[in-house]
Amino acid sequence: MTKLSTKHLLGIKNITTEDIHLIFQTADNFKEVINRPIKKVPSLRDITIANIFFENSTRTKLSFELAEKRLSADVVNFSASSSSVKKGETLVDTVNNILAMKVHMVVMRHPNPGACMHLQRHVDCSIVNAGDGAHEHPTQALLDAYSLREKLGDLTGKKVLIVGDILHSRVALSNIFCLQKLGAEVRVCGPATLIPKHIESLGVRVMLNLKEALLWCDVANMLRIQLERQDIQYFPSLREYTMQYGLSSKLLKEIGKDDLIIMHPGPINRGVEVTTDIADGKHSIILDQVENGVAVRMAVLYLLAGQAKST
């Protein structure tokens, strides 16, 4: 197996467990590369990649851009706020115009779920999903699982808890698919209003009490409360959320689990999902996640680009 089963990375749901392992194996090599004095390899020097972001992003965009540059690809950036999308151009037209300028790959974030899937049917290039609405965020899930694999080894049978706003979270859905494909057991925990109705059909158990849930798990992935998506009141106040579902060192001490691993996809609302001493403490692997993000994205781009034979 030296090839991904797909031409695009649209979601974790569409790739196989072997694909995930191949990506991880390649990411190991790139992790070594980005720790060298010269952090750049010439693999993708004849490739141009367009980063198309219809939604704001700092970490993901920066991480993709760094990954592309460290592979020596040429990068063009595009953000919707300053573009002809404002003038009423459709998504397919926008992307086809970009492709007409001889771009090989597209990395896209879009607020609508399924935007990448739609695009894939209409344009001829490799597409990497960098988040589509509340649907999937595959590279985030891959880097989360990669960081866990680094800490815990094989993920088979490991217990991972996802805490917070499951309803609006693309990270949660991709993480559930990815971790289940790697053999881990996943449960979610959060206010009942922020748990999607049919989540149990994915084989995920819902827990409403954070303390009980933490006693069960090996890893807690604390999702960000997406303040910009709280269009109706899902919980009475942020303070009440923090009291129920925020992680503090006091709570951690009560549980008495010294080997618990704390993750957060960022950006952190300090003092809401986790307190500052937890975010910076020894349990946290938040900055490892960011470092691995570049290596994992390099692996994804390298493997996808390598399949498209140049003509």
The site for another protein (CB under 8 A) is made up of 2-4, 22, 25-26, 28-29, 32-33, 36-38, 40-44, 46-47, 71, 302-303, 305-310
State the minimum distance, in angstroms, from the CB of residue 192 to another protein. 45
- State the number of CA atoms in the 13 A half-sphere of 146 facing the CB: 31
Nearest residue (CB) to another protein, 34 versus 206:
34
CB of 33 to another protein, least distance (A): 7
Distance of closest approach, residue 32 Cβ to another protein, in angstroms: 6
Task: Record the tokens describing residue 41, joined without a space.
Answer: 């390899």
Closest approach, Cβ 19 to another protein, in A, equals: 12
| Shorter beta-carbon distance to another protein: residue 189 or 298 | 298
Q: Classify residue 123 as exposed, middle or buried by CB count within 10 Å of its CB (0-12, 13-18, 19+).
A: middle
Which of residues 2 and 233 has its CB atom nearest to another protein in the complex?
2
Work out how close the CB of 38 gets to another protein at its nearest, in angstroms, rounded to a whole number.
Answer: 4
Q: How near is the Cβ of 304 to another protein at its closest, in Å?
A: 9
CB of 28 to another protein, least distance (A): 8
Residue 116 to residue 136: CA distance in whole angstroms: 10
For another protein, the closer of residues 68 and 273 by Cβ is 68
- Cα(95)–Cα(252) distance, rounded to whole angstroms? 48
Give me the least distance between CB of 130 and another protein, in Å please: 21
- Nearer of residues 3 and 211 to another protein, judged by Cβ: 3
Between CA 149 and CA 146 the distance in angstroms is 5
